[in-house]
A and B are shown apart, each in its own frame.
Chain A
Amino acid sequence: MPRMRMNQAITAAIRDEMAEDDTVVVLGEDVAAAGGVFKTSVGLLDEFGPNRVRDTPISEMAILGAAVGAATTGLRPVAEIMFVEFFGVCLDQLVTQAAKLHYLTAGAVTVPMVARASVGAGRGFGATHSQTCETWFTATPGLKIVSVWDAAGAYGLLRSAIRDDNPVVFLEPKCAYGNRGDMVRGEEGILPLGEAAVLRSGDEVTLLSLGQMVPVALAAAQMLEAEGISAEVVDLRTLRPWDRETVLTSVARTRRAVIVEENPASGGWGHEPASVIGAELFGELLAPVHRVTTPDVPVPFSRELELNYLPTPEYVTSQVTSLCNTARSPHPWWEEPS
């Protein structure tokens, strides 16, 4: 079983799809000659040439617009938007065009494209290059949204995303690009969109997470075990459509749910599964559905502040322990109990 860094796994996924399907093309800022600022397209230009691997100007609207136009006329573009925040200049092309054209045309066109972006805090990139922004996309039917954190997941899900006939937003935590992990390359390594993964079994609480909060949840589960609390860890992987069945099956058994999110408490992606879990399993829960998030603040630049901003395994552990012991949602660290 090969080991790869996550950015190498991403490159491998694009490479393998390009080798199988000559309609797959790559475009974005610095993706060709430079191999991507996060080295997620190294070697693709040499192997596939400048017609299929294209550097663009700093023109996000043109990048995504061209991807939509090309996707509706026979290509499968993989577009890179360097930082997820830059979707702020091209949401129109994504939300109003890519996500709508299949519907507006009553299915006459499909929009098979992937819009990849780096996300997340932890690397000192400051307030404008460190968010995750999943909820910019979650309220848009027509989009699929994937978030990854390891080599195997990135490879398997990106290959599925490129093969998918719908526009897929593919989010990659920048701190995870260097993560080395075991992976399966080739057809067997492909992972379906829309399916969550149970990464650790447990009986007393389900930790539901996504992106780079998954390893935090896994580490917390380990600590909880030492405290005598058995935690199940579910990696949601795809936010739209999200895997209700796996999540509800897990929580129906553990009867407690904690959602671990890297986004501000207000309006984070966890509201949706929290609401569904609460509605579907209300009478069976032993505690309120609880969300562990970052505070409602821009991502701080200063390293010390930034490390406090992100949920840590210790913090998740203390929150889960409190929930399990009291059957009440604990306050977050930044709020004094009233």
Chain B
Amino acid sequence: MATQSRTELLAAYRTMATMRAFEERMHIEFAGGGVPGFVHLYAGQEASAAGVCANLTDHDVLLNTHRAHGPAIARGADIFAVAKEIYCRGEGLCRGRGGSAHLHDTKNGLWAANSGVGSGVALGCGAALAARTRGTGGIAVALVGDGAVNQGVVSEGLNLASIWKLPLVVVVENNGYGEATAAGYAIAGGGIARRAEAFDMPGVQVDGSDYFAVFEAAAAAAERARRGKGPSLIEVEVTRFFGHFEGDAQTYRSRDEAERARRERDCLANFRRTVVAEGILDAGELDLVDTDVADLIDRVYAEAEAAPYPPDDELMEFIYADSL
């Protein structure tokens, strides 16, 4: 059972409920044509980011994936700025330069996704090296998906992290599909977690519908990294409730797969059932959180939709760190 306090658990529920509500609403708004560009929704995977991020401080660096909204919220990024970024607004987290997939927030230790999907592991090596060299006490967490693990850069990064004993935790969210291709088809060797053994680091597989399992695995890996014992790999088994991207016809999976996951593998419902059954939190206070969150999400979307776009005269900004 988790070692978190009642207050921390209530906060974890709030974080997950916020992620869920944010994405459910995003799904509706996207379908209505109000969301520009391209979005990948995190609904169904909330316990992964929440369980991992509950073990991190502001000194730690989380290298995000392109399925970025949930982990950004879990890392404590301003949800209003997150929404505005997705809506391309000038007050967005990255002033409209990053978009849905590249949410970045230095002060909360949230690093923008790298688009090549597996590179977070290599970048994480560098962030871990910098933390150790500079003595910040921080660690790096590279969040990647199952689709990334067959990229060479992941193997290179795992190897480098191991030989240099870097304070790095690699979290692989296995949602069963690399875009539209099944993980079972694409991944050789009997599973992702097993690959850790080849690099001489602990590798565990946890149920991503179980917040407590994720939290405990992440706690152990973070602790190991902080103690200078080197990197670890955690494979979190999750199910995404929506497609790879919004608009994905999902012809590669059965129609009822996501519905069944909502019934049987919903991390929020599981969390609620556990904490209520164990008498840690009561249903009433969780309901209150849900109400609060619903109100927050209404305000977040209303504000994002009304926010101004970046001014045209800012087009040439942020290309170089100093003026040329």
Contacts and interface: CB of A to CB of B under 8 A. Distances in A.
A70 B132 CA distance: 10
Contacts of B112: 101, 104-105
A71 B153 CA distance: 18
Interface residues of A, number: 48
A293 interface: no
Contacts of B188: none
Given A69-B140, A93-B122, A97-B114, A109 B104 contact: yes
B61 to A, nearest CB: 6
Interface string A298-313: 0000000000000000
Nearest to A241: B324
B98 A106 contact: yes
Nearest to A111: B321
Nearest to A109: B106
A72 B129 CA distance: 11
A142 interface: yes
A59 B153 CA distance: 8
A62 B155 CA distance: 9
B285 interface: no
A190 interface: no
Interface string A1-30: 000000000000000000000010100000
A73 interface: yes
A51 interface: yes
A69 B124 contact: yes
A108 B94 contact: yes
A97 B320 contact: no
B122 A69 contact: yes
Given A105-B112, A106-B317, A112-B321, 6 more contacts: A75-B134, A92-B116, A93-B119, A97-B115, A103-B97, A108-B94
Q: In the complex, which range does the number of interface residues on chain B fall in? A: 35 or more
Nearest to A112: B321
A107 B318 contact: yes
A97 B127 CA distance: 14
A2 B147 CA distance: 55
A89 B63 CA distance: 21
Interface in B128-174: 128-131, 133-134, 136, 140, 152-153, 156-157, 159-160, 163-164
Contacts of A92: 116, 119, 153
Nearest to B160: A62
Choose among B63, B124, B321 the residue with the greatest number of A CB atoms under 10 Å from its CB: B321
Interface of B: 61, 63, 94-98, 102, 104-106, 111-112, 114-116, 119, 121-131, 133-134, 136, 140, 152-153, 156-157, 159-160, 163-164, 317-322, 324
Q: Which 8 A-B pairs have the closest CB atoms?
A: A65-B122, A69-B126, A69-B123, A70-B126, A165-B321, A62-B156, A66-B126, A106-B95
A92 B148 CA distance: 14
A111 B153 CA distance: 20
B320 A71 contact: no
A166 interface: yes
B13 to A, nearest CB: 30
A194 to B, nearest CB: 6
Interface of A: 23, 25, 51-52, 54, 56-57, 59, 61-62, 64-75, 77, 89, 92-93, 96-97, 101-112, 141-142, 144, 164-166, 194, 241
Contact of B125 (A66, A74, A105, A107): A66
A250 B112 CA distance: 44
Nearest to A23: B134
Contacts of A101: 104, 112
A139 B156 CA distance: 27
Contact of B119 (A97, A107, A109, A241): A97
A72 B160 contact: no
Choose among A62, A69, A74, A89 the residue with the greatest number of B CB atoms under 10 Å from its CB: A69
A165 B322 CA distance: 7
Contacts of A70: 126-127, 129-130, 133
Contacts of B133: 23, 25, 51-52, 70, 75
Contact of B321 (A69, A104, A110): A110
Contacts of B106: 105, 108-109
Contacts of B125: 62, 65-66, 69
Given A57-B159, A105-B97, A62 B122 contact: yes
15 contacts: A62-B125, A65-B123, A65-B157, A66-B123, A70-B130, A71-B126, A72-B111, A75-B130, A93-B119, A93-B122, A106-B95, A109-B111, A166-B320, A166-B321, A166-B322
